[in-house]
């Protein structure tokens, strides 16, 4: 675990040093859980977004795009349930004045018990060697059995209390477990209260009678309220989908782990409208397609897993997360939800407008059911970054940090270097750069040794470096160096484009 936390720290430092991600308002010591994307970050993020758009919109004739506004009519959030139910249980410590999510305090307590059990298991495995039977140990070791029973009891109190929104029961649980403030050690807690995660602001001037509006906490509602506009103008027939990428805002209480949990983040969501009764089939299809998309980035399959939800939100009849093994362990990366007709039904009720679809195949009019795929772009960015970050020992005892990004996602595709700053080499390198930059993101560099320039481009994941030397002036050949293998070959300069283009091909099967 310590090693993994270490990896996260290294990734955060690397992301800052190489212009991927900066803390927001850095010169003012940052703003909690808000981040800015630097020159390399913005390219990588755009490439991930484009790859998602390609898989969802370009590859599906029955999915079209939308870019709805962040501000929406306040009643949207009443209808969606966010005004009444989009909240976390909050508790303050009266001595430290620190604020916590009450359920997270209990979950951290559970994690400590689990860590103790894991330690016992590790110790026993060492003691018994090959003859160790983990299952038997878990079922018979008195300390482990007691810990597991305690865990079950705590879960059986926490989750039903959360479902009932029973704040008093959660407070009682914290007191019964003797949970102390992790910072001050104090047990002097306030009551637990619900805290709505939506940011609000005023629209219009107060003299005009300004109204309170919200920064959207999910992009999905922009799709729901536009579903008939899109269906009619694009002449879509069910089943069809609407895809959208854009900012979402949540006043997260426990905001930590870099860009994993942010207060301002970007979502890539697709709502797929289907005939009632067919939703389970489509739910299964979208689970498969979305997993295929993740695998098509080249990240190994063992880094992903599904987590099917046992407890479902009131509007869902099936839900699963695609979890990714981040440096801090397996965590939610994407959600796939069968949302029934809850949202469209609620918007019909609150707006008084019919949101029905006439299905000419069965001669029936209905409110469609919806399968949603919802992924955080920033989380995907972190997944890509943490999978790509590689420290390598090289011959001669040197080291390099290389970002093994899939070439189609890399910020720059080609770096062009003149070997020296004289003898007409920069002019020749510029000529090559000018021939390539219309098709690829290229970077021109003439400072430092070639070795140092290679290292800088390894660190940002540039798949190819092209070096122009004196021979280039004679025969128009260059040295092409590949990032991962570090192999160099001499090629005619007019072949660069073809080789690079080939490496950028995206896998589109099964998407
Ligand atoms: N429309 C459904 C929806 O918003 P969600 O599970 O709350 O569902 C979907 O969010 C995805 O958005 C998550 O799987 C995650 O990738 C991303 N996400 C949610 N909250 C986030 C946050 N605070 N920071 C970064 N990404 C977040």
Q: Domains of the chain (ranges plus CATH)? A: 41-72+198-385 (3.30.930.10), 87-196 (3.30.40.230), 401-503 (3.40.50.800)
What confidence score (pLDDT) does residue 4 get?
Answer: 65
pTM of the model: 0.90
Question: Do residues 460 and 411 touch, judged by C-beta distance below 8 A?
Answer: yes
Residue 335 bridge partners (DSSP): 321, 374
Q: If we measure between CA atoms, which residue out of 502, 451, 456 comes closest to residue 467?
A: 451
Ligand 1 atom with the shortest distance to the CA of 263 = 23
Rounded to whole angstroms, the Cα distance separating 127 from 393 reads 34
**Ligand 1 centroid, distance to 244 Cα (angstroms):** 14
What confidence score (pLDDT) does residue 163 get?
Answer: 80
Question: Do residues 406 and 377 touch, judged by C-beta distance below 8 A?
Answer: no
What confidence score (pLDDT) does residue 2 get?
Answer: 59
**Ligand 1 centroid, distance to 319 Cα (angstroms):** 14
**Ligand 1 centroid, distance to 375 Cα (angstroms):** 6
What confidence score (pLDDT) does residue 197 get?
Answer: 94
**Ligand 1 centroid, distance to 365 Cα (angstroms):** 32
Ligand 1 atom with the shortest distance to the CA of 262 = 24
**Ligand 1 centroid, distance to 510 Cα (angstroms):** 24
Rounded to whole angstroms, the Cα distance separating 330 from 320 reads 14
Ligand 1 atom with the shortest distance to the CA of 220 = 1
- CB under 8 Å to 185, separation ≥6 — which residues? none
- CB under 8 Å to 204, separation ≥6 — which residues? 210, 211
Enumerate residues lining ligand 1, CB below 6 A: 218, 220, 250, 252, 261-262, 265, 267, 269, 332-335, 372, 374-376, 378-379
Q: If we measure between CA atoms, which residue out of 302, 488, 298, 296 comes closest to residue 388?
A: 298
What confidence score (pLDDT) does residue 190 get?
Answer: 96
pLDDT digits 0-9 by tens, 482-509: 999 999 999 999 999 999 999 998 877 7
- CB under 8 Å to 290, separation ≥6 — which residues? 322, 334, 336, 373, 375
Rounded to whole angstroms, the Cα distance separating 170 from 191 reads 9
Strands 414-418 and 464-468: what pairing? parallel
Rounded to whole angstroms, the Cα distance separating 121 from 170 reads 31
Rounded to whole angstroms, the Cα distance separating 5 from 257 reads 9
Mutate to test the pocket of ligand 1, among 72, 243, 379 (most ligand atoms within 8 A of CB): 379
What confidence score (pLDDT) does residue 314 get?
Answer: 79
What confidence score (pLDDT) does residue 506 get?
Answer: 80
Residue 346 host element (H or E):
helix 342-351
Mutate to test the pocket of ligand 1, among 76, 332, 385 (most ligand atoms within 8 A of CB): 332
**Ligand 1 centroid, distance to 260 Cα (angstroms):** 9
Residue numbers of the chain with a pLDDT score lower than 50 = none
């Amino acid at each position: 675990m310590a090693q993994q936390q270490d990896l996260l720290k290294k990734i955060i430092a690397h992301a800052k040093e190489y212009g991927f991600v900066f803390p927001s308002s850095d010169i003012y010591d940052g703003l909690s859980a808000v981040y800015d994307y630097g020159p390399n970050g913005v390219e990588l993020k755009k490439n991930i977004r484009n790859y998602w758009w390609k898989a969802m919109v370009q590859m599906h004739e029955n999915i079209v795009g939308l870019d709805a506004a962040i501000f929406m009519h306040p009643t949207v959030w009443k209808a969606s349930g966010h005004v009444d139910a989009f909240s976390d249980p909050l508790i303050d410590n009266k001595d430290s004045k620190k604020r916590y999510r009450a359920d997270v305090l209990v979950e951290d307590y559970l994690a400590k018990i689990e860590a103790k059990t894991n330690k016992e298991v590790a110790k026993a495995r060492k003691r018994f060697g090959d003859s160790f039977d983990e299952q038997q140990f878990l079922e018979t070791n008195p300390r482990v059995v007691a810990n597991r029973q305690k865990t079950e009891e705590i879960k059986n109190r926490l989750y039903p209390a959360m479902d009932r929104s029973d704040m008093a029961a959660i407070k009682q649980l914290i007191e019964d477990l003797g949970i102390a403030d992790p910072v001050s050690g104090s047990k002097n807690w306030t009551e637990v209260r619900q805290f709505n995660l939506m940011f609000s602001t005023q629209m219009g001037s107060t003299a005009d009678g300004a109204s309170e509006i919200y920064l959207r906490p999910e992009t999905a509602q922009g799709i729901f309220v536009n579903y008939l506009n899109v269906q009619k103008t694009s002449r879509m027939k069910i089943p069809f989908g609407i895809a959208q990428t854009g900012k979402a805002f949540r006043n997260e209480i426990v905001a930590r782990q870099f860009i994993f949990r942010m207060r301002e983040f970007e979502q890539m969501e697709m709502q797929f409208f289907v005939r009632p009764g067919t939703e389970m089939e489509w739910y299964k299809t979208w689970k498969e397609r979305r997993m295929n998309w993740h695998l098509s980035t080249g990240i190994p399959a063992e880094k992903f897993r599904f987590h099917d939800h046992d407890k479902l939100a009131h509007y869902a009849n099936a839900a699963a997360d695609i979890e990714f093994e981040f440096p801090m362990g397996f965590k939610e990366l994407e959600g796939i939800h069968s949302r029934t007709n809850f949202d469209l039904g609620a918007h019909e009720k609150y707006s008084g407008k019919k949101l029905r679809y006439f299905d000419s195949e069965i001669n029936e009019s209905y409110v469609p059911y919806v399968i949603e795929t919802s992924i955080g772009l920033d989380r995907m960015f972190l997944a890509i970054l943490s999978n790509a970050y590689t420290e390598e020992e090289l011959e001669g005892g040197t080291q390099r940090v290389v970002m093994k990004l899939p070439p189609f996602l890399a910020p720059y595709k080609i770096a062009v270097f003149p070997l020296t700053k004289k003898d007409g080499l920069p002019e020749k390198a510029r000529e090559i750069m000018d021939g390539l930059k219309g098709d690829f993101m290229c970077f021109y560099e003439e400072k430092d040794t070639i070795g140092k320039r290679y290292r800088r481009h390894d660190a940002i994941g540039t798949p190819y470096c092209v070096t122009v030397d004196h021979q280039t002036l004679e025969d128009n050949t260059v040295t092409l160096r590949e990032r991962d293998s570090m192999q160099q070959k001499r090629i005619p300069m007019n072949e660069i484009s073809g080789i690079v283009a080939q490496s950028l091909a995206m896998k589109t099967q099964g998407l």
